[in-house]
Amino acid sequence: MDDSGNSRVRAPAWAWFLIPIALCAATRDLWAPDEPRYGMIARWIYDHGEFLVLRRCGTLYPDKPPLVYWLAGLAGSLSGWSEFAMRLVSLGSVAALAWIVSRLARLWFGETEARWAPVLFLGFALIYWNGARIALDPLLTVGCVGALYFAALPAHDAATARRHTLLAGALGGIAMLSKGPPALVNIGLPLLVWAWQRQRPGG
């Protein structure tokens, strides 16, 4: 008997740990100092159609790249400028990071570690804080950790290696568009260490 119709895709157990972060994101206003500023910049983009030159209440804002503001502003414009909708960029990034952490733990350690690593990750106070607010670091971290994950994946043929390289490069680009040069440090240093270890005898 074919029971494929009854099969369901189950959410991982660690997804329950996203609920407190989502509740925090849904039940408060924008918190100073960063959230109001980020919210103003994101709204200005869609109110005035200026996607390449960021402004805060009309004043030039050259400090950061535009990707987070584009995404938060898009979510805000589609929701009537709901604070929770604008925070979905960070909340979604934290969920993606938990998944990547699970995959890395499975790759390097095993199934038990893959089950517990995202729970530990989501339990950190800093993750709870950044995942529930408009922030640049969650999407930056997705790009950096995601790029390192695909760089670490084994490739058994040239086509797979090219695919992993392209995905790593794309995620590195997301990191750069999220916060700029810190992405180069966060991705570049681990890659240099890996390359150095491989050159060592027995590495």
The domain of 139 spans 35-199
Specify if 1 maps to a domain. no
- Whether the pLDDT of residue 77 is over 90: the answer is yes
Residue 198's pLDDT is 80
Number of domains in the chain: 1
pTM here is: 0.90
Specify if 20 maps to a domain. no
Preceding peptide of 33 cis, ω within 30°: yes
Measured CA to CA in angstroms, residue 176 lies from 31, 72, 84, 117, 201 at distances of 25, 17, 25, 26, 34
Q: Closest Cα to residue 183, out of 142, 125, 130, 127?
A: 142
- Write the pLDDT tens digit of every residue in 158-178: 999 999 999 999 999 999 999
Specify if 15 maps to a domain. no
Q: Which residue do the tokens 């109001």 mark?
A: 36
Specify if 8 maps to a domain. no
Q: Do residues 17 and 122 make contact, with C-beta atoms less than 8 angstroms apart? A: yes
Specify if 2 maps to a domain. no
Specify if 44 maps to a domain. yes
Specify if 93 maps to a domain. yes
Residue 134's pLDDT is 96
Q: Closest Cα to residue 52, out of 39, 77, 69, 37?
A: 69
Six-digit token pair at 159?
């086509």
Q: Which residues contact 173 (CB under 8 A, 6 or more apart)?
A: 143
Residue 90's pLDDT is 97
Q: Which residues of 22-61 are buried (b: 16+ CB within 10 A; e: fewer)?
A: bebbeeeebeeeebebbbbbbbbbbeeeeeeebebeeeeb
Specify if 63 maps to a domain. yes
Residue 10's pLDDT is 81
